[in-house]
């Protein structure tokens, strides 16, 4: 059974700092790994999707990497801003139905 | 472009009352559809998923059921709500017909409080 873990559970940084969020998964047989952002009381916004054959994806200040062999993914946020404050979730897709198994998230606070 | 609509945004229901949450997707056909529940401190839990009309898979035993009467409509129901059904319910879709490498998109969620 796939288990996804995110460390740390919470992170507070000053504005402008570069930071890394970590995600690990126990079963390397995934189809893809997806990073989401969730603002309080809101739904999930997709940030980046890394397919199983890829090593990384970039969108603006965000870069996500995937190492299936070690069961790890990282989300790198460059030059963080207060507007980046949110909970970041990673999810691994399993099986033909693309069921997503989620980590519990990292709550990020960027202080001005 | 594709959009997903989920309603209502908030709901307060007494114990023992019925429930119906609706989710519709526009701009795509034959999507995979999902219902998740997010409880405080427990992360997102997959409740149901559907790969086609009338095809529903349940992930966990519970007081809830799901139906897919149309290609882009997914309904979460209960005949009698329990206090433990309280939570944040999220509907999601991903590209149907293409296994493995499609992105999932979520609705804005329904905050259900059972009193």
Average pLDDT, chain B: 90
DSSP codes of every residue in B91-108: EEEE-TTS-S---EEE--
Q: What is the pLDDT of residues B75-85, one digit of tens each?
A: 999 999 999 99
The band of B28, judged by pLDDT with boundaries at 50, 70 and 90, is: confident
**Cβ contact (<8 Å) for B104 and A103?**
no
CA–CA separation, A61 vs A52, rounded Å? 22
Q: Give yes or no for A22 touching B (CB within 8 A).
A: no
CA–CA separation, B14 vs B113, rounded Å? 8
Q: Give yes or no for A14 touching B (CB within 8 A).
A: no
Q: Give yes or no for A71 touching B (CB within 8 A).
A: no
CA–CA separation, B4 vs B92, rounded Å? 8
**Cβ contact (<8 Å) for A49 and B94?**
no
More confident residue, B62 or A44: A44
pLDDT recorded at residue B103:
86
Dihedral, CA atoms, A32, A38, A44, A48, nearest 10 degrees? -30
Minimum mean pLDDT among A5-14, A39-48, B52-61: which range? B52-61
The band of B97, judged by pLDDT with boundaries at 50, 70 and 90, is: low
Which among A41, A93, A105 has the least Cβ separation from residue B43?
A105
**Cβ contact (<8 Å) for A44 and B43?**
no
Smallest Cα distance from B76 to chain A, Å:
17
**Cα separation values, B112 from B14, B19, B69, Å:** 11, 10, 23
The band of A31, judged by pLDDT with boundaries at 50, 70 and 90, is: confident
Averaged pLDDT for residues B1-20: 94
Q: Give yes or no for A92 touching B (CB within 8 A).
A: no
């Amino acid at each position: 059974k796939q288990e996804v873990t995110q460390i740390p559970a919470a992170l507070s940084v000053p504005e402008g700092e570069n930071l890394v969020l970590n995600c690990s998964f126990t079963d390397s047989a995934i189809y893809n790994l997806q990073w989401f952002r969730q603002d309080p009381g809101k739904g999930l916004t997709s940030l980046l999707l890394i397919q199983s054959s890829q090593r990384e994806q970039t969108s603006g200040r965000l870069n996500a990497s995937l190492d299936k062999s070690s069961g790890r993914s990282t989300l790198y946020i460059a030059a963080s801003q207060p507007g980046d404050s949110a909970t970041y979730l990673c999810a691994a897709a399993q099986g033909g139905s693309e069921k997503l198994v989620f980590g519990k998230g990292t709550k990020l606070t960027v202080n001005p | 472009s594709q959009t997903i609509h989920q309603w209502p945004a908030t709901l307060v229901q007494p114990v023992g009352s019925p429930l119906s949450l609706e989710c519709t997707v526009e701009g795509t056909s034959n999507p995979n559809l999902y219902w998740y529940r997010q409880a405080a401190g427990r992360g997102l839990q997959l409740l149901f998923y559907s790969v086609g009309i009338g095809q529903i898979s349940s992930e966990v035993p519970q007081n809830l059921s799901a139906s897919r009467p149309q290609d882009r409509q997914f309904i979460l129901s209960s005949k009698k709500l329990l206090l433990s059904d309280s939570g944040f319910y999220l509907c999601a879709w991903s590209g149907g017909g293409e296994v493995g490498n499609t992105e999932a998109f979520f609705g804005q969620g329904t905050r259900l409080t059972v009193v």
